[in-house]
Amino acid sequence: MLTRGCIAGFLWGVVAVALCAGCATQRATASPASTASPVSTDASRTSDTEALAGVWEGEVWETTPSYFVQGVRRVTLNIDRDGSWTALSGGTPCASGKASRRGGLVVLGGTRIGPDHCMPYSLASKDGRMRAVFDTSFKAREASAMIDLTRVRGPLPQAVQGPARP
């Protein structure tokens, strides 16, 4: 049986938790002026894509439970300084487009080629790695998968790439 003191202690505990939560919420709230994002310019986009430029290699592996087979495939992602990218799976092009960076996300806009989507539309980028969970297929069998890419080579110097095309 609950006593009056036990109920009072419980109520005081609930009030204390509510007050602490209110204080934490108050501290976390920032003014609209401090959270406004700066205006993006083409120059800042170029520097963002230049930071991504290079060759990224890794694997896509199935995370959906399977009794007999777990799909795995090697993927190579080439990102140029201007943000254009091409993905290869097994040496065959499987997707291409333009990359952009939004905070810690790399957004890969473009076209997917073939029955098995080899690249997600966005990846988390941190410490020279890109990772994501996405829906794909392995030989036309739908599955959830994870991708983990590591930069293996930076961008080629401008002189080696040749002159820019108009």
Please name the amino acid found at residue 156: L
Residue 148 domain-assigned (yes or no)? yes
pLDDT tens digits for range 116-159:
788 999 999 988 899 999 988 887 778 889 999 999 987 766 54
Whether the CB-CB separation of 98 and 64 falls below 8 Å is answered with no
Q: Which residue has the tokens 């959906």?
A: 64
Token digits of residue 34: 């401090």
Q: Which pLDDT value is given to residue 50?
A: 81
Start-end of H helices in the chain? 4-28, 32-35, 42-52, 158-161
Q: What is the pTM of this model?
A: 0.64
CATH of the domain at 90: 2.40.128
Q: What is the pLDDT of residues 18-73, one digit of tens each?
A: 555 554 444 444 434 444 433 343 444 445 778 889 999 999 998 876 666 678 88
Q: Which domain holds residue 60?
A: 43-155
Position 56 in a domain: yes
Q: Is residue 150 part of a domain?
A: yes
Q: Within a domain: residue 2?
A: no
| Residues above pLDDT 90, as percent of the chain | 33
Domains of the chain: total: 1
CA dist., res. 152 & res. 76, Å (int): 10
Q: What is the dihedral of CA 134, 42, 57, 157, to 10 degrees?
A: 170
8-state DSSP, 57: E
- Please indicate, yes or no, if residue 36 is contained in any of the structural domains: no
Least confident of 79-88, 94-103, 106-115: 106-115
The answer to whether position 166 is within a domain reads no
| Residue 107 predicted with pLDDT over 60 | yes
